[in-house]
A and B are shown apart, each in its own frame.
Chain A
Amino acid sequence: MAEVTYLEALRQGLWEEMERDDRVFILGEDVGIYGGAFKVTEGFVKRFGEARVIDTPISEAAIVGAAAGAAHMGMRPVAEMQFIDFISCAYDMLTNYVATARYRAGLPTPLVVRGPCGGYVRGGPFHSQNVEAAFFHTPGLKIVYPATARDAKGLIKASVRDDDPVIYLEHKWLYRRIKEQLPEGEEVLTPIGEARLAREGRDLSIISYGATLWKSLEAAEQLERDDGLAVEVLDLRTLLPLDDAAIMRTVKHTNKVLIVHEDTRTGGLAGEIAARINEQAFEWLDGPIMRVTAHDVPLPYAPTLEDYVLPQTDDIVKAARWLAAY
């Protein structure tokens, strides 16, 4: 076993897939000799060469489009968005071209678009975004969002091997903050479409993913310590397709649900999760399904502002208390 960070786990996963399958290649901005803005691909160009680690112009639509064309021809491209905020420049390519390719024309399009997302890092409006809701609405795409080092590795490897296009969201606040013992010489694969029970409890369920998974776990510990509440925490890991079975299991176990995400509230994933619980497990509920999310504003830069806009551990604690008492 060796202790690795979330970032290193991701890097290992990518490296192993490049070693395993010569159809896998990387393209993106500054991914070559610079090793990527966060050094996810550091050392890759030296090992795998410029043909398989391609520095591109600042052209997200071209990056994703070229990945799609190569995927049709049998390659397994991994496209990096330097910050996931810039994936909006490839929105057309992903939603209109990539997502529909199999359905409309039977075209295999196995590609991964990955990039650093999320706030809590004072990145301001354009280096802090969460983009899952923008793509969640598009049939044909898959979205994964690891919270742990194990899943950072397991999900990148599963994404590269998946026959469908996958958007892999990696949280930059977790990059070097999260460490985990991972086995050496053992294949780490996380199946796409399976949530993970991160903490067991009987009083209340928190459903979350990404950075707020850790804040939810922190809140759960505090609630146990201070209030004697046993809070269950579900880590979704895959956002599209959602693991309905795991969601309904935890609802039926605790009968109260708090959904926590870092993304803004209106049109965020919590709304869809709440709708599914309403349709599939209404009679199991002992209280309203509540949400803790970012406020509906662009993410501001100043620490006082960012901290106010984003959901914090203390917010989750208070919301859970409110719901437990309902």
Chain B
Amino acid sequence: MASRTAPATQSPPIPAGLSRDQLLEIYRYLRLTRTLEERLTALYRQSKVVGGLFRSLGQEGESVGSAYALDRGRNRDFLSPLIRNLGSMLVMGAEPVQILRQYMAKAESPTRGRELNIHFGDLERGYLGQISHLGDMIPVMAGVALTFKLRAEPRVALVYIGDGGMSTGTFHEGINFAAVQRLPLVLIAEYNCWAYSTPPAKQFATAHLADRVRGYGVPAVTVDGNDVLAVYEATRLAVERARRGKGVHAVEVKTYRRKGHAEHDDQHYVPKEELERWARENDPIDRYSKRLLDSGWAEQADLKDIDERVRAGVDAATDACVDEPAPEPESALPAVYASPATAERLWFRGL
């Protein structure tokens, strides 16, 4: 690939201290997120996805850009995604086959068929799946960050909240607690214009999510959420400040949810021209690709090569798990507790 590098004299410098390989790695995560979701859509239409399907179409940039700003690897930084942060999970090391198994409720899925979609975690790789109750992960991730502080480990926790989720009480309790304790926590506030069918004007009375967070003494910036590198750069700064003991920092990302709440939602409440405009003019992957090419940081062949490898990887992951069995019914009983090891099978099942 080195031979394809454009001469430095023709290219503007790469921002944010990133290397060309890192730029391409970011592109790969963006493409993987979208390709994997497109595959999930196909599986959903074949009724192979058991429950709902939640797309992050249009939001892949802020997911990947923010997670990429963390130190990743075994027992490094830590994040907790929302349902539209598949890209963040992939950046942290979640494997496509795990995502596919989760959606198809396979026995070998990370939660062994107990939980839906991307609600799963990996403490070593550094991500913690959300529960459906929005806002709850803010106090929980404050507790993760508190542990880093108590142990004097130079690690940072990053947590996402949406323009709807920020209305919950747990959000406000959690962010205030973290701010008071000056915890190494970074908040990514996603302004994606829709909380199910509810627009921001019915959710809060400020112009920006950052305005609300500043009231807790948390420094906050607002960035274009569909500019991957802007998100990366702002998050990187927030992460490094948090790591240096400067307390909670927030990055608000302005973006747009281009699909319904879930696949069943036809978005009849969204102006059609608005959707088309975001798709046409402000797709994060299109913008990023164009910037890579226009700046001479990559060539079309590089991107095409990545696209093909991503597609092949998703094909292989699908083939590997699509025919796997569902969990054994009685596997529903163990591990409610550490002790006792299993719940009791009820008497009528023995009749």
Q: Do A and B bind each other?
A: yes
Q: Are B120 and A69 in contact (CB under 8 A)?
A: no
Q: A61-B170, A65-B170 are in contact. Are A96 and B136 (CB under 8 A)?
A: yes
Q: Which residues of A contact B145 (CB under 8 A)?
A: 69
Residue of B nearest to A103 (CB): B336
Q: Does A241 contact B (CB under 8 A)?
A: yes
Q: Which residues of B contact A100 (CB under 8 A)?
A: 131
A96, B137: Cα distance in complex, Å: 11
A9, B143: Cα distance in complex, Å: 29
Q: Are A62 and B337 in contact (CB under 8 A)?
A: no
Q: Are A66 and B115 in contact (CB under 8 A)?
A: no
Q: Are A68 and B114 in contact (CB under 8 A)?
A: no
Q: Are B150 and A25 in contact (CB under 8 A)?
A: yes
Q: Does B96 contact A (CB under 8 A)?
A: no
Q: Are B170 and A70 in contact (CB under 8 A)?
A: no
Q: Does B35 contact A (CB under 8 A)?
A: no
Interface core residue of A66, A71, A105, A241 (most chain B CB under 10 Å): A66
> Nearest Cβ in chain B — how far from A12, in angstroms?
24
Residues 91-119 of B, flagged 1 when their CB comes within 8 A of A and 0 if not, give 00000000000000000001100110001
Q: Are B337 and A59 in contact (CB under 8 A)?
A: no
Q: Does B140 contact A (CB under 8 A)?
A: yes
Q: Are A164 and B173 in contact (CB under 8 A)?
A: no
Interface core residue of B138, B140, B181 (most chain A CB under 10 Å): B140
Contact for B136 among A97, A139, A163, A241, CB less than 8 A: A97
Q: Does A67 contact B (CB under 8 A)?
A: yes
Q: Does A178 contact B (CB under 8 A)?
A: no
Interface core residue of A51, A65, A69, A96 (most chain B CB under 10 Å): A69
A72, B80: Cα distance in complex, Å: 13
A57, B142: Cα distance in complex, Å: 13
Residues 59-95 of A, flagged 1 when their CB comes within 8 A of B and 0 if not, give 1111111111111111101000000000000001100
Q: Are B336 and A102 in contact (CB under 8 A)?
A: yes
Name 18 interchain pairs, CB-CB below 8 A, sorted by A: A56-B180, A63-B177, A66-B143, A68-B139, A69-B145, A70-B144, A72-B144, A77-B143, A96-B131, A96-B136, A102-B336, A102-B337, A105-B119, A105-B120, A105-B121, A106-B335, A162-B338, A163-B339
Q: Which residues of B contact A75 (CB under 8 A)?
A: 147, 150
Q: Does B69 contact A (CB under 8 A)?
A: no
A105, B120: Cα distance in complex, Å: 6
Q: Which residues of A contact B132 (CB under 8 A)?
A: 96
Q: Are A56 and B114 in contact (CB under 8 A)?
A: no
Contact for A164 among B115, B120, B133, B338, CB less than 8 A: B338
Q: Which residues of B contact A57 (CB under 8 A)?
A: 173, 176-177, 180
A84, B125: Cα distance in complex, Å: 37
Contact for A59 among B120, B150, B177, B340, CB less than 8 A: B177
Residue of A nearest to B139 (CB): A65
Q: Does A172 contact B (CB under 8 A)?
A: no
Q: Which residues of A contact B139 (CB under 8 A)?
A: 59, 61-66, 68-69, 93
Residue of A nearest to B334 (CB): A103
Q: Which residues of B contact A74 (CB under 8 A)?
A: 147
Q: Are B140 and A59 in contact (CB under 8 A)?
A: no
A60, B177: Cα distance in complex, Å: 10
Residue of A nearest to B149 (CB): A51
Q: Does B248 contact A (CB under 8 A)?
A: no
Residues 26-46 of A, flagged 1 when their CB comes within 8 A of B and 0 if not, give 000000000000000000000
A326, B75: Cα distance in complex, Å: 65
Q: Does A140 contact B (CB under 8 A)?
A: yes
Interface core residue of A56, A93, A162 (most chain B CB under 10 Å): A93
A241, B337: Cα distance in complex, Å: 11
> Nearest Cβ in chain A — how far from B144, in angstroms?
4
Q: Are B337 and A73 in contact (CB under 8 A)?
A: no
Q: Which residues of B contact A198 (CB under 8 A)?
A: none
Q: Does B61 contact A (CB under 8 A)?
A: no
Q: Does B141 contact A (CB under 8 A)?
A: yes
Q: Are B119 and A69 in contact (CB under 8 A)?
A: no
> Nearest Cβ in chain A — how far from B94, in angstroms?
13
Q: Does B251 contact A (CB under 8 A)?
A: no
Residue of B nearest to A95 (CB): B133
Q: Are A62 and B170 in contact (CB under 8 A)?
A: yes
> Nearest Cβ in chain A — how far from B66, in angstroms?
19
Q: Which residues of B contact A71 (CB under 8 A)?
A: 143
Contact for A69 among B142, B170, B176, CB less than 8 A: B142
Q: A59-B173, A164-B338 are in contact. Are A92 and B143 (CB under 8 A)?
A: no
A69, B347: Cα distance in complex, Å: 37
Q: Which residues of B contact A162 (CB under 8 A)?
A: 338-339
Contact for B143 among A68, A110, A140, A279, CB less than 8 A: A68
Residue of B nearest to A65 (CB): B139
Q: Are B144 and A102 in contact (CB under 8 A)?
A: no
Q: Which residues of A contact B42 (CB under 8 A)?
A: none
A100, B116: Cα distance in complex, Å: 13
Q: Which residues of B contact A64 (CB under 8 A)?
A: 139
Q: Which residues of A contact B343 (CB under 8 A)?
A: 139
Q: Are B111 and A69 in contact (CB under 8 A)?
A: no
Known: A52-B150, A59-B176. 17 other contacts (CB 8 A): A57-B180, A59-B174, A61-B139, A65-B139, A66-B139, A66-B146, A66-B174, A68-B143, A69-B139, A69-B140, A69-B146, A72-B143, A103-B335, A104-B115, A105-B129, A106-B335, A164-B337
Contact for A104 among B114, B123, B140, CB less than 8 A: B114
Q: Are B143 and A107 in contact (CB under 8 A)?
A: no
Q: Does A256 contact B (CB under 8 A)?
A: no
